[in-house]
A and B are shown apart, each in its own frame.
Chain A
C-alpha cells in the first residue's frame, strides 16, 4: 500500500506529490513543463555523520570524509563498468555531491528519462567496493583535497567554522584529509553504507515533464516490493559550548589582499522544523535589511575603502545541529571591518520600510527559485529530509512580522563572533 499526498500553491501555480513507496523510499514528483527532467536520489547523511550504532548497540566511528569518499565510489558497478558510462549511453548528464548533512546522486536529461531513472536507482542501491578500486580513488581525492586547500575562500570559510565550533563536525572539511581517507577500506564503506543508505532514510525527487505514475512504474521495477526496515538514527550528543572556539584565526596563503569571514554563532536552534524554517526566513529578511547593497552600512564600508571589493557576501544557515550567520569579503584590515560592523549593530535601529523591502526581496527570490528543475529538486531534498513541506516556506515568509524581526535582531547582536582572515604569505 502506498501513501500518497499532494501539495499545491495557488500563488505559484505549482503542485507536487509525495508518495511513500512500498520499499520505504519517499518519492516526490514535481511535474513542470520543461524540456529537462531532473532527478535526485538523496540520502540524509553527509560529512557530519561520522558515527553510527552497530548491530550490537556499540558506537561505530568512521574516518572524516567517508560520506564523500563513498559518493565517489558508488558509481563503480559490479561488472567493472561505471554508472557514468550508462548515463552517457542514454544521453543523460549525471553527477553527485556531498554536503554537511546530505549526499545526493543526480542526473538531468531531455530524453530516455525512464532508463536513466532506473540506472540511478540501481547504482545507488547496489554498492560494490574492492580494495583495488578504493586504493585507486585515494590519489584522486587527495588531489581534490589539495585543490580545496589551495582555495583562499574555502580556507577562509572553514577557518570561520573552526573558530566558531569546538566539537561540532561541521568544522571539518567535507572531503576529510589525506590522513583520514588513508584509513578507508571497502569494509569502512560497506559499514557506512549499511548504516545510512536505508531506503527509509532516502528520497527520490523528480522534477520536469513527468508524472507520478511514470516515476512509480520505474520505482516498482527497480526497488523491493516490501519495506527493508526503518532507519534508526544515531544521535551523537556533542557538548558544544555557546561561546566560540576562537575569536580570531589568521591563515597565510597565496592572496594579493586579505579576505575575511565573520561568523555569528547561533546556539538557539528551535526543535520544531517549522520554527527553524521560520528563523531561517526571518534571518534572511534581516540580512537584507542590514547588510545588502541597499543599506547604509554597505555604502559606508565600500565608499570609505574599508572593504576593498564591492562583493560583500552574507547569509544564514540553520540545521538541527548547527546555525550561524556570516559576512565575508575582501579588506586590507579585516579587524577594522569587524569593529565597524559590531559598532553598527550596537547602534542601529530597524525601520519598517526596510522590513517591507527585505520581505519583498525574499518573496521574489522564493518565486524565482521555481523556474529551474535543478533548484526545485535540490530545495525539495533539503525540506523533505527535514520532514517539512516546501510551499509552507512561502506562507512563513508572508506571515513574518516586523516585531519578530526586531527580536531576531536583538538575538543577532548577542551572538558571539569569530573572525577568520586569510592574509598574504
Chain B
C-alpha cells in the first residue's frame, strides 16, 4: 500500500498550505484556490478576470513576456480558471512544473512559479483607474465567444443544460443566458472593483505535490504572499442535497445527426451523508463502467447508442445519465434507462457485479497515488470542505458497503429532469461542403 506524507501549515491567518513531498514524479503541481459565493455576476466577472490575469503582470507585462518566462522555467504551465458548483466559485491558479532536479542549469523552477503566480494574483497590469479598457474588452469578447460556442459540442452542451435544469430553483445558478446577460456590465472599472473584492476574500488555499520539502515551499509562499491580507471570509458550507422537483422536460432542435438524451435525478445523499460511499458504488454499477447496467443493456444488448453513462455529483447529490441516440428511439432509450434504475432499486445486483464494482473503484482510487494532479484534487476538495478522509479511508469505506446499502441509496434517486437535443440532420445532408482548388 502506498502512503502520502501530507503536511499542513497555516503560513498566516489567510494563507494555508497542504504539501505532499515525494520523489516519485519528475514534475509536480502547485494550485492556489480562492472561493467566492456563486452567482451569475461572480462567475462571469471571475471568468473574464482569469483571462486578464493570464495576460500579464507588472514584471512580465505582456502575454509574450509571461509565456517566455514560463518557457524559461522549463515549460511550466500557468492556468488561471474558475469552476463552480451550486454554492461556490473557485478561482484557481494552477501550474505543472518540472522538478528542480531536472533543470540542468540549476534553475529554481518552483521559486520562479510561485513568484509568477503571486505577480498574476497580486500585481496585475493596471493604472490608477484599473485595468486597460482594450484588454478587458478583448477578454469579454473571448468569453462571449466561448459561451456561444458551448453548443458546438452537443454532448457537453446537453450536460450543461441538464445541470441548469436540475438547479432551476436556485436563483444564483449561472445559466448560459444569465452569464451572457452579465457580460454587458463588464468594463475596465467594474472588473477592477470586482478584482479588489476578490482578493479581499480569504483564505488562500495552496496545495503542492512535488520533490521540494514542505517547509521550503511554506517559506517561499511567505516571501511572495506576505502582503496578502484579505478582510472578508467565505467558507463553503457542507450543504444539504437539493430535494426532488416537479418533473421538467425540455427539447432543442439542432442541425446534427445524433440526438442527445440527458436525464437528471435528485437524491438525498451527498458527500456529507453516511451513505456517500454507497452512492458512488451505486453509480459505478448503474452506469460508470463497461460492465454497468446501462452499458451492458442500453448499448450492448439493445444497440441504442455508442455511449450511455451516468455521473454522480458528490456535492449536490444529483445524478445525470447522458447518451447519444437515434432521435426516433428516444422513448425506448428513456424507458430502458429508467428500467435499469428500477433493477437496482429492487436489488437485482449479483454478487459478481457488486464485487467487480468495488474492485473497479479501489483500482480508480489507488491510481490517484500515481498522478500529482489527482492527489492534489482529491485532498484539496476535501480540505476545503473540512473533510478528513484519506484515499485508504475511502477504499475501506467502499469495501464495507453492502447490497442493502446500495438498494437504500438507489431508492433515493428521483427522476425529475429531462433534456433532449433533437438532431434534425440525417448525416448526409448535415454538411454542405464548398471547396475550390486555386
Q: In the complex, how many angstroms separate the beta carbon of B329 from the nearest chain A beta carbon?
A: 10
Determine the chain B residues whose CB is within 8 A of the CB of A163 once the complex forms.
435
Given A309-B146, A371-B25, decide whether A425 and B255 contact each other with a Cβ distance below 8 A. yes
Q: What 1/0 flags go to B278-312 for Cβ under 8 Å of A?
A: 00000000000111000000011001111100000
User: Is B155 close to A, CB under 8 A?
Assistant: yes
Determine the chain A residues whose CB is within 8 A of the CB of B226 once the complex forms.
none
* In contact, A149 and B257 (Cβ under 8 angstroms): yes
Q: How far is the CA of A82 from the CA of B299 in the complex (A)?
A: 14
Q: How far is the CA of A248 from the CA of B433 in the complex (A)?
A: 10
B51, B74, B149, B325: the one contacting A364 at CB < 8 Å is B74
* In contact, A251 and B367 (Cβ under 8 angstroms): no
A93, A248, A292: the one contacting B363 at CB < 8 Å is A93
Q: In the complex, how many angstroms separate the beta carbon of A109 from the nearest chain B beta carbon?
A: 6
Determine the chain B residues whose CB is within 8 A of the CB of A299 once the complex forms.
62-64
User: Is A378 close to B, CB under 8 A?
Assistant: no
Please tell me which stretch of B137-145, B163-171, B241-249, B402-410 contacts chain A, meaning at least 4 of its Cβ atoms lie within 8 angstroms of it: B137-145
Q: In the complex, how many angstroms separate the beta carbon of A347 from the nearest chain B beta carbon?
A: 18
User: Is B129 close to A, CB under 8 A?
Assistant: no
* In contact, B141 and A254 (Cβ under 8 angstroms): no
Given A90-B359, A163-B435, A357-B72, decide whether A254 and B255 contact each other with a Cβ distance below 8 A. yes
Determine the chain A residues whose CB is within 8 A of the CB of B152 once the complex forms.
152-153, 254-256, 259
User: Is B364 close to A, CB under 8 A?
Assistant: yes
Interface residues of B in 40-91 (CB under 8 A from A): 51, 62-64, 67-68, 70-72, 74-76
Q: In the complex, how many angstroms separate the beta carbon of B295 from the nearest chain A beta carbon?
A: 8
* In contact, A35 and B367 (Cβ under 8 angstroms): yes
Please tell me which stretch of A139-147, A181-189, A193-201, A265-273 contacts chain B, meaning at least 4 of its Cβ atoms lie within 8 angstroms of it: A139-147
Determine the chain B residues whose CB is within 8 A of the CB of A252 once the complex forms.
431-433
* In contact, A302 and B98 (Cβ under 8 angstroms): no
Determine the chain A residues whose CB is within 8 A of the CB of B2 once the complex forms.
35
User: Is B342 close to A, CB under 8 A?
Assistant: no
Determine the chain B residues whose CB is within 8 A of the CB of A363 once the complex forms.
74
Q: How far is the CA of A309 from the CA of B438 in the complex (A)?
A: 28
Q: Which range contains the number of B residues in contact with the other chain?
A: 35 or more
* In contact, B26 and A109 (Cβ under 8 angstroms): no
* In contact, A140 and B75 (Cβ under 8 angstroms): no
Q: How far is the CA of A212 from the CA of B215 in the complex (A)?
A: 39
User: Is B232 close to A, CB under 8 A?
Assistant: no
B148, B360, B363: the one contacting A256 at CB < 8 Å is B148
Determine the chain B residues whose CB is within 8 A of the CB of A292 once the complex forms.
67, 71
User: Is A368 close to B, CB under 8 A?
Assistant: yes
Determine the chain A residues whose CB is within 8 A of the CB of B9 once the complex forms.
none
Q: How far is the CA of A292 from the CA of B10 in the complex (A)?
A: 38
User: Is A382 close to B, CB under 8 A?
Assistant: no
* In contact, A302 and B63 (Cβ under 8 angstroms): yes
Given A152-B152, A363-B74, A364-B75, decide whether A247 and B436 contact each other with a Cβ distance below 8 A. yes
Determine the chain B residues whose CB is within 8 A of the CB of A137 once the complex forms.
303
What is the number of residues of chain A that contact chain B, defined by CB distance less than 8 Å? Answer: 78
User: Is B400 close to A, CB under 8 A?
Assistant: no
User: Is A346 close to B, CB under 8 A?
Assistant: no
Determine the chain B residues whose CB is within 8 A of the CB of A111 once the complex forms.
359, 362-363, 366
User: Is A94 close to B, CB under 8 A?
Assistant: yes
* In contact, B436 and A147 (Cβ under 8 angstroms): no
B70, B75, B141, B427: the one contacting A305 at CB < 8 Å is B141
* In contact, A372 and B64 (Cβ under 8 angstroms): no
User: Is B227 close to A, CB under 8 A?
Assistant: no
Q: In the complex, how many angstroms separate the beta carbon of B355 from the nearest chain A beta carbon?
A: 8
Q: What 1/0 flags go to B411-438 for Cβ under 8 Å of A?
A: 0000000000001000100111111111
Using CB atoms, name the residue of chain B closest to A244: B437
User: Is A108 close to B, CB under 8 A?
Assistant: yes
User: Is B199 close to A, CB under 8 A?
Assistant: no
Q: How far is the CA of A35 from the CA of B151 in the complex (A)?
A: 39
* In contact, B436 and A257 (Cβ under 8 angstroms): no
B76, B258, B307, B364: the one contacting A150 at CB < 8 Å is B258
Using CB atoms, name the residue of chain A closest to B148: A256
User: Is A25 close to B, CB under 8 A?
Assistant: no
A90, A146, A364, A372: the one contacting B324 at CB < 8 Å is A146
A250, A364, A370: the one contacting B433 at CB < 8 Å is A250
Given A146-B324, A298-B63, A302-B63, decide whether A373 and B370 contact each other with a Cβ distance below 8 A. yes
Determine the chain B residues whose CB is within 8 A of the CB of A146 once the complex forms.
257-258, 306, 324, 427
* In contact, A294 and B306 (Cβ under 8 angstroms): no
Q: What 1/0 flags go to A344-379 for Cβ under 8 Å of B?
A: 000000000000010011011101101111000000
Determine the chain A residues whose CB is within 8 A of the CB of B63 once the complex forms.
293, 298-299, 302-303
User: Is B224 close to A, CB under 8 A?
Assistant: no
Given A88-B291, A254-B256, A299-B63, decide whether A364 and B98 contact each other with a Cβ distance below 8 A. yes
* In contact, B435 and A361 (Cβ under 8 angstroms): no
User: Is B24 close to A, CB under 8 A?
Assistant: yes
Determine the chain B residues whose CB is within 8 A of the CB of A131 once the complex forms.
none
Determine the chain B residues whose CB is within 8 A of the CB of A82 once the complex forms.
291, 300
User: Is B196 close to A, CB under 8 A?
Assistant: no
Determine the chain B residues whose CB is within 8 A of the CB of A140 once the complex forms.
299-300, 303, 305-306
Determine the chain A residues whose CB is within 8 A of the CB of B138 once the complex forms.
302-303, 305
* In contact, B142 and A370 (Cβ under 8 angstroms): no
Excluding A82-B291, A88-B290, A139-B303, 8 further A-B contacts by CB distance (< 8 Å) are A144-B306, A147-B155, A152-B153, A248-B438, A255-B149, A255-B152, A257-B148, A357-B72
12 example contacts (A-B, Cβ-Cβ < 8 A) are as follows: A12-B26, A89-B359, A110-B363, A140-B305, A143-B325, A146-B324, A150-B257, A249-B435, A254-B154, A256-B145, A364-B98, A425-B432
Binding site for A on B (CB under 8 A): 2, 24-27, 51, 62-64, 67-68, 70-72, 74-76, 96, 98, 102, 138, 141-142, 145-146, 148-149, 151-155, 254-258, 289-291, 299-300, 303-307, 324-326, 352, 355-356, 359-360, 362-364, 366-367, 369-372, 423, 427, 430-438
Please list the 3 inter-chain residue pairs (A to B) with the smallest Cβ-Cβ separation, ordered nearest first. A91-B359, A294-B67, A256-B148
